[in-house]
Amino acid sequence: MSHQQRYFSLGLVLLSICSVLFIVRGYISETHTLHSRDFKPVYAASRCLLAGCNPYDIAATKQEYLGAGGTMEDNLAFQPHNSTYPPGTFFLILPVAWLPWSWADAVWLALIAIAMVMAAFLVADLCQPYAAWPAILCIGASLLTCRILLMLGQPAGVAIGFCVIGSWCLLKRRYEVAGVICFAINLACKPQIAALVWVYFFFASRQYRRRSIQIAILTAAICLPGILWVSLMRSSVHWMRDVHANLTYMVARGNPADPGPADMDAPLFENLQSAVSVFRDEPHFYNPIVWAITGSALLAWFYLVIRMKSSIEKDFLAIASAVCFTMLPVYHRSYDVYLFLLSFPALALLFSRRRLAGTVAFVLSLLLIIFTSTTYTHFFQVRYTEKQAHLSIAQTLALGRNVPITLFALGLLYLVQFFRLRDSLREQPVTSTHPSLEVHPSS
């Protein structure tokens, strides 16, 4: 057994230990603290479809939740204007919504746990032909720190896990039908998380394009019944107006989705607005700047995607930069960052071929994991909020806006390496029987 194979075997043992700790710590923390706060309104809104009430009326959803056996140990789950998910999400989780609350919560948490653990091992499999140990350390660290997904019962846990599973199926060209189903579930659950990854598969090559079209059709088949259902019920015929009102309230200054300094939760945001707003807390100031920055990066990314020949190296670097940049222009919270599991194959690739770039990517990835960990954010929130008024702009950016800045730096690093890929493709390819190393047909 070679050193690389030995390290990889040890890495799988490490991932197994981290998986057990993730599940045990997540379930314990969910029981004692957050009690699946983010799943409650989604579950209750889905039950509203069954009961014929408006899923965007918080009072109605709260009644459905209580009628299903829920308790109000956490009042924050049903704050006004808290229902903002699209109707397709409510339709998607109907099989779970049929169950009483205690059973539904257990099934949902199990689904998150299984999806994230499977995602971790599948990403490790993609890393195996390269210098995998830095990537496996990052995967294990991500599992240890992402228990917030279980604590909140966050739908992002299902969306991220299924996105990674679907991407693995497409990249490896194995179980592709299952991959299409997983990717469609991800897009129907939280479309803003992995839409850019789907865009990559659509434009990357003909073979990916066929599967991506199937994904789009299946996603529409999942979402359309929910949209029609909500639109045809008398109680929710004006659901688009309700969604707009809820979103408008959420992004108002000082409210939960406001990226500006007036919102005490802004340090937990991933979108770049939370950093730029430190200089001037006006949406008409920071939104154009963020869209100009991320738009320029995405235009460069898109140019490379459609112009470069297909290869596994292109897949890894393009997806790695995509999952970083997709978080920056629109609202995302810290738990969404775990989509960057899909960036670790690019990290392993860089570490095996360009040690300096790989080392920088490794350091930035570890920093991102630390900055989004539950332990760090709890420690940070207690101390940062006490001193926020006395911090300079530089201190605020370093301490309170480090997640979007690190994400942008990591995405820029992968984009630069994506530009340099044309040179690397002239080098001698790595020889391996691993299916993902086969060069794909030209797009």
> What is the per-residue pLDDT across 205-264, written as a single tens digit (0 to 9) for each?
888 999 999 999 999 999 999 999 999 999 999 999 999 998 899 988 888 889 998 888
Domain limits of the chain? 3-437
Tokens of 229: 């259902």
Give the count of beta carbons closer than 10 Å to the beta carbon of residue 420.
13
Burial of residue 292 (CB within 10 Å: 0-12, 13-18, 19+) is exposed
Percent of the chain with pLDDT over 70: 92
Query: So what's the pLDDT on residue 373?
Result: 86
Strand blocks (E) in 55-186: none
pLDDT of 431 over the 50 cut: no
What average pLDDT does the segment 179-200 reach?
A: 94
202, 319 Cβ separation under 8 angstroms = no
Token pair 């920088």 is at which residue?
A: 360
Tell me which residue has tokens 């009042």. 75
For the segment 10-43, what is each residue's pLDDT rounded down to a tens digit? 889 999 999 999 999 999 988 888 889 999 999 9
With 70 as the cut, is the pLDDT of residue 160 above it?
yes
Tokens 């971790």 locate to 120
Question: What's the whole-number mean pLDDT along residues 392-410?
Answer: 90
pLDDT digits (tens, 9 = 90+) for 261-271: 888 888 889 99
Q: What is the DSSP string of 408-440?
A: HHHHHHHHHHHHTHHHHTTSPPPP---GGGSPP
Give the residue, 111 or 397, on which the prediction is more confident. Answer: 111
148 contacts 156 by C-beta, under 8 angstroms: no
The predicted model gives 109-135 an average pLDDT of: 94
In whole angstroms, give the CA distance from residue 303 to residue 112: 35
- Average pLDDT (402-419) is 95
Q: What value does the mean pLDDT take over residues 372-393?
A: 71
pLDDT reported for residue 432: 40
**In this model, does residue 376 exceed pLDDT 90?**
no
Once rounded to an integer, what is the mean pLDDT over residues 359-380? 86
* Tokens, residue 359: 């080392």
pLDDT at 440: 40
pLDDT of residue 230: 94
Beta strands in 82-142 (DSSP E): none
Neighbours of 327 (CB within 10 A): 29
8 confidence band (pLDDT: 50, 70, 90): confident
CA 228 to chain centre: 27
Q: pLDDT at position 268, please?
A: 85
Phi, psi of 333 (to 5 degrees): -105, 175
3-state SS record for 5-63: HHHHHHHHHHHHHHHHHHHHHHHHHHHHHHCCCCHHHHHHHHHHHHHCCCCCCHHHHHH
Q: Give residue 247's identity as a one-letter amino acid code.
A: L
The CA distance from 35 to 33, in Å, is 6
Is a pLDDT exceeding 80 seen at residue 433? no
The pLDDT value recorded for residue 422 is: 67
Compute φ and ψ for 182, nearest 5 degrees. Answer: -65, -45
The residue type at 412: L
83-104 pLDDT tens trace: 889 999 999 999 999 999 999 9
Q: What is the largest CA-CA distance in the chain?
A: 67
pLDDT of res. 292: 96
Share of the chain above pLDDT 90, in %: 68
Average pLDDT, the chain: 89
**308 DSSP assignment:** S
Who's near 350: CB < 8 A, 6+ residues apart?
A: 357, 358, 361, 417
Residues in the chain: 443
Q: So what's the pLDDT on residue 385?
A: 62
Of residues 437 and 11, the one with the higher pLDDT is 11
Does residue 162 carry a pLDDT above 80? Answer: yes
* pLDDT per position as a tens digit, 315-350: 999 999 999 999 999 999 889 999 999 999 999 999
Confidence class for position 428, pLDDT limits 50, 70, 90:
very low
φ, ψ (nearest 5 deg) of residue 269: -85, 155
